[in-house]
Amino acid sequence: MRSIAIINQKGGVGKTTTAVNLGAALADQGQRVCVIDLDPQAHASLHLGVALAENDKSIYQVLTGDTRLSEVRTAIDDNLWLVPSHLDLAAAEMELAGEVGREVILRDKLVLDDSDFDYLIVDCPPSLGVLTLNALTAVKEVFLPLQPHFLALHGFGKLLRTIDVVAQRLNPSLRLTGVVLCMYESGTRLAAEVASDVCEFFEQNKTQSTAWADAKTFETRIRRNIRLAEAPSFGQPIFPYAPSSNGAMDYRCLAREVLGLPLDESARLPASTVETVEPSLL
């Protein structure tokens, strides 16, 4: 099983959008995928149409009690499952503050889980606290969504250092697989410059003995697309909501790249089926 944490301490960079839609795209490719919503805002859960009532169990009970992952996991679609979150999770960091081994609770729960998945995708909160550390100790790969904007690069080095420290002290198998450029506007010089800078940074540091020495920038760019912003309000991934949108095309391509499949036109819909919307919205 490939286990992937989608992290960035900055909000609004496409983290939850990538976790949900990459998971759904992999499921469409026949992979058995489980998404764990580890964000107290529960945006991944809402994006997949799951809104928990106050007494419903969530990942909060898994991390703070004896509840198993299988007790809260719910089927979303063929090949796609979700471990939902709830606002209660915001209290978990304080409740776990005095807990011995609090950084590895999720890892231990996964060891006890006997379900068979091809991919585990963890949507992390926009912070580097206990919840994110639990994700980093439980997975083997990190995907880093990044908006091609200079302000979005702020904290990039700190995030890389955090991954490296966790790899050295808690999870030796942890590696940063790559950066996913989201909300990409190919017509702007800024986007091209930031993408080039990130690629050059990884190329220059390939000889370093770090958890991100083999990282890359994914070839697929997730273009800015209004349909991606609309889909969560309907409780759906992009594919059932707007299957012919640029957002759907891009996440199909990203899934193929993650699977190691060629990025050819078979990943995209025929041009005649592409939705007609204003160019400024694509």
In three-state secondary structure terms, 121 is strand
pLDDT value at position 97?
Answer: 79
**pLDDT band, very low/low/confident/very high, at 273 (cuts 50, 70, 90):** very low
Angle at 212 between CA 104 and CA 223, to 5 degrees: 100
Q: Which residue has the higher pLDDT, 282 or 14?
A: 14
CB neighbour list of residue 271: distance below 8 Å, 6 or more residues apart: none
**Cα–chain center distance at 228:** 15
Lowest-confidence pick of 29-38, 90-99, 164-173, 252-261: 90-99
Rounded Cα–Cα distance for residues 258 and 118 (Å): 12
pLDDT band at residue 94 under the 50/70/90 scheme: confident
Weakest-pLDDT range from 50-64, 145-159, 174-188: 145-159
pLDDT at residue 12 is higher than 50: yes
Whether this prediction's pTM lies above 0.75 is answered by: yes
Tokens of 153: 């690069």
| pLDDT at residue 264 in the model | 63
**What CATH topology corresponds to 2-281?**
Rossmann fold (3.40.50)
Which pLDDT value is given to residue 205? 80
In three-state secondary structure terms, 146 is strand
Query: Taking residues 23-29, what's their average pLDDT?
Result: 97
pLDDT band at 158 (very low <50, low <70, confident <90, very high): confident
Token pair in block for residue 199 = 């690629």
Taking residues 172-194, report their average pLDDT.
90
Averaged confidence pLDDT in the chain:
89
